[in-house]
């Protein structure tokens, strides 16, 4: 697990874009896992800008969305499908057939979830999974107590998550209670994970994720077991970390380690 502490939200986004860009340079048919929510918005905006400048090209890129509200049609304004279209996909030159998402109104939920998992595997797995984090430590919509080896399935949202999401719904009665989410086991199979967080409101969840015990009560804490998990956060989100200075020291020395390893080859 690498903890990358940046000055502010803009730098969190820039660092994430840098990671994606570097990965894309090595593999143009990059498979990206996409989270919805406020946090990754700056990343999507910058990626679209990069493409406009001709510096990145999404024509071979494949995307998988992380989750979806159960019961919302794809074209519902609050569905994650609409979010992703509006905030990212319609601004880039990705091919329609390379966009995969969970369907909030599937005919058969179990079949749909199983096929989604198979589809991810058919592309060789997710290269970079972008994640936000809930104040309760959820990743995707894997709420606390989710099995740490869970697969794509239906989950019941917590009251707090429902309240947090309700800001986007005019009619509060419409706020979904259930969702489809890729599982924690599914997320952990991604080759690289970039979990982003910004602001003091996320500091406790980040503290528990990075320095607390691995527990289903804080789903994101499982990332401690992932060899390529990057926790990219701003100063406020990092404010409760005990080893903050050490993480910054490691980051500053990263270039030197690479130089050292290169020389040894």
User: Segment contacting ligand F6R (CB under 6 A): 33-41, 49-57, 184-192, 204-212?
Assistant: 33-41
Q: How far apart are CA 229 and CA 223, in angstroms?
A: 6
- Judged by DSSP in three states, 232 sits in strand
Binding of ligand F6R by 140 (CB under 6 A):
yes
Q: Radius of gyration (Cα) for the chain, nearest Å?
A: 18
Specify whether 111 is catalytic: no
Residue 31 vs 35, nearer CB to ligand F6R: 35
User: Which candidate in 15, 98, 127, 138 is catalytic?
Assistant: 138
> What interhelical angle do 9-26 and 41-52 show, nearest 10?
50
For β-strands 62-65 and 2-6, DSSP reports them as unpaired
CA 47 to mean position of chain CA atoms: 15
Residue 132 vs 183, nearer CB to ligand F6R: 132
User: Segment contacting ligand F6R (CB under 6 A): 9-17, 34-42, 108-116, 245-253?
Assistant: 34-42
Comparing CA positions, the residue from 16, 35, 18, 128 lying closest to residue 88 is 35
Among the listed residues 11, 14, 21, 37, the single contact to ligand F6R using CB under 6 A: 37
Binding of ligand F6R by 176 (CB under 6 A):
no
Comparing CA positions, the residue from 23, 34, 91, 29 lying closest to residue 61 is 29
Q: How far apart are CA 15 and CA 13, in angstroms?
A: 5
In the stretch 95-134, what mask flags binding to ligand F6R with x, by CB under 6 A?
A: -------------------------------------xxx
Specify whether 103 is catalytic: no
Residues that bind ligand F6R (CB under 6 A): 35-39, 66-67, 80, 132-134, 138-141
What residues are annotated to the active site? 67, 136, 138, 143
């Amino acid at each position: 697990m690498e903890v990358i502490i940046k000055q502010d939200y803009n730098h969190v986004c820039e660092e994430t874009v840098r990671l994606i860009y570097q990965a894309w340079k090595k593999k143009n048919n990059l498979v990206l896992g996409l989270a919805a929510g406020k946090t990754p918005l700056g990343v999507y905006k910058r990626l679209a800008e990069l493409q406009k400048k001709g510096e990145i090209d999404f024509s071979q890129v494949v995307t998988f969305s992380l989750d979806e509200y159960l019961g919302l049609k794809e074209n519902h304004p609050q569905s994650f499908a609409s979010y992703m279209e509006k905030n990212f996909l319609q601004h880039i030159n990705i091919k329609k057939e390379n966009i995969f998402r969970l369907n909030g109104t599937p005919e058969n939920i179990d079949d749909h979830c199983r096929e989604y998992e198979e589809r991810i595997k058919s592309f060789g797995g997710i290269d970079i999974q972008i994640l936000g984090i809930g104040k309760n430590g959820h990743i995707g919509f894997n709420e606390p107590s989710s099995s740490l080896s869970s697969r794509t399935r239906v989950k019941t949202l917590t009251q707090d998550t429902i309240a947090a999401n309700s800001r986007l719904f005019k009619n509060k009665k419409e706020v979904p209670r259930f969702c489809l989410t890729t599982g924690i086991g599914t997320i952990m199979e991604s080759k690289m994970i970039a979990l982003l967080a910004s602001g003091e409101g996320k500091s406790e969840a980040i503290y528990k994720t990075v320095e607390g015990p691995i527990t289903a009560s804080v789903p994101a804490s499982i990332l401690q077991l992932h060899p390529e998990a990057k926790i990219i956060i701003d100063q406020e989100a990092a404010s409760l970390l005990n080893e903050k200075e050490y993480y910054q020291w490691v980051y500053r020395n990263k270039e030197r380690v690479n130089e050292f390893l290169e020389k040894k080859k």
